[in-house]
Structure 1
């Protein structure tokens, strides 16, 4: 575990680039069940696997990193979505590659506060993914699935921080809770010496993840409609993570709604009704397991 801030963005990237990525306990259990089914009758395919693990951002990240490294060795472009990554490696090699994957419950057992913090980020990521999907469909974007995946993975660096630097992540959460008016980026610089968005981009580049996925998670390209779709979904999920009537949400929502309305070419009232309706019906978001 990392207990003290590292010296630079490069040092953080090196520390996380080869670090283990634990996944949700439900993913580990699902893996064992599907592996047994595959060995018994060979009926498991890539779509079944993607449907089973697509709501676990850590498992999604783990698979994409593994396949991107494989593609880099073969000098080919990595697939942009989870199902394509599974197809590329094959069902049998998939089970072999991830047979001994650790789960976050065991990984963070000595750090219950960190486990709670991680699960909150994952819940937020799932909501962001749902918002991004609906925004992209409304815009009739051709890269709907990639944008949904980009929103799910947008905050993966924070998830890894909870897993590998739980004390530092807990300190950041404590400062944010003490004063919601402080920018998250300022707290990250104070505690870590870097911003997590920069760490995320650095890691994605180091891992050679798909270019479109890197672009749509890069907040520095906020002028691009695809990036704005993901950014606004992530922003909305973050601001409303404690409910629509939370003081922090009430303060932030007018700007969020105005920006979403502009992106979707809706009135502010119509945009507000749309996002609140999406949060009440979330077929793509499963309970944390």
Structure 2
């Protein structure tokens, strides 16, 4: 079980937050940990495609693998593994299992902290829906980087996941502040509580871990005029606004923006999005 430090012990600037998250052990979803142990027993029959298919729905495990591969292999030329499968091919199946032993789970990590676990689960659910929306948008646009766009949406909020895991007191404080004031922007409350935004922390971590340039670029919301970035951003926005249903007042604007991106009529876009979410 992880014991959370008091708020006064948390970092107070960008560099400190990056170092803080670099030092923590990242737990994975219970299903991922169980599947890894099953595959470990039959690893001679496992290939990169099979392993990626089992792991790619878990943003935390995906992040661990990409960060490990990019950091360890960064001295090689042409080693920018842009997808989980490519990272596993680069690492090799036997070295992968040797490196990634039995994994700690989020349930174990947040044992006795149900509010933090629920907060984390909400972000994980949103990431799952966002990645599916983003992939559908990319395929509709015939984007040749659809697999990376899926990954970018899956990992878009990984800093928030790390916050729930390793600074749950602050994460809960931020959530309660926004619940009390629906007009409070996420960036505002993050600066109040963390002295930095999670987007800034995330971009810095991705650079520090030497994650693929395309992935870093597509997850950078500041470049929202780029069609690939906008593809991811709109998918994340829609997943956030529809997390409790499709009656959120922000949804019509999301649908309008998505229709413009996909060059579809708004009504047809809304029907299509609801089918995707079915």
Which range, TM-score by smaller chain?
over 0.9
Question: 1:36 matched to which residue of 2?
Answer: 41
Match of 2:215 in 1: 213
- For structure 1, the 5+ residue unaligned runs are 281-289
Deviates more, 1:71-80 or 1:210-219: 71-80
Structure 2 residue aligned with 1:276: 274
In the alignment, what sits opposite 1:286?
Answer: none
Q: Any conservation in 2 of the 1:128–1:151 contact (CA below 8 Å)? A: yes
1:19 aligns with 2:24: yes
Stretches of structure 2 that go unaligned for 5 or more consecutive residues are none
- The TM-score with structure 2 as length reference comes to 0.95
1:203 has 2:205 as partner: yes
Where does residue 164 of structure 1 map in the other structure? 166
After the TM superposition, list the runs of 4 or more consecutive aligned residues in structure 1 that deviate by more than 4 angstroms.
none
Q: How far apart, CA to CA, are the structure 2 residues paired with 1:243 and 1:3? A: 35
Aligned pair count reads 273
CA contact under 8 A between 1:129 and 1:233: conserved in structure 2? Answer: yes
The corresponding residue for 1:285 is none
Q: Cα deviation per residue 1:124-178 (whole Å; 9 max; x = unaligned)?
A: 0000000000000000000000000000000000000011101111111111222
TM superposition score normalised by structure 1: 0.92
Q: Which residue of 1 aligns with 2:246?
A: 244
Q: Report the RMSD for the aligned CA atoms in angstroms.
A: 1.2
Q: 1:262 maps to what in 2?
A: 260
> 1:78 pairs with 77, 80, 83, which one?
80
Partners of 1:63 and 1:82 within 8 A in 2: yes
Most deviating of 98-107 and 51-60: 98-107
| Aligned residue in 1 for 2:6 | 3
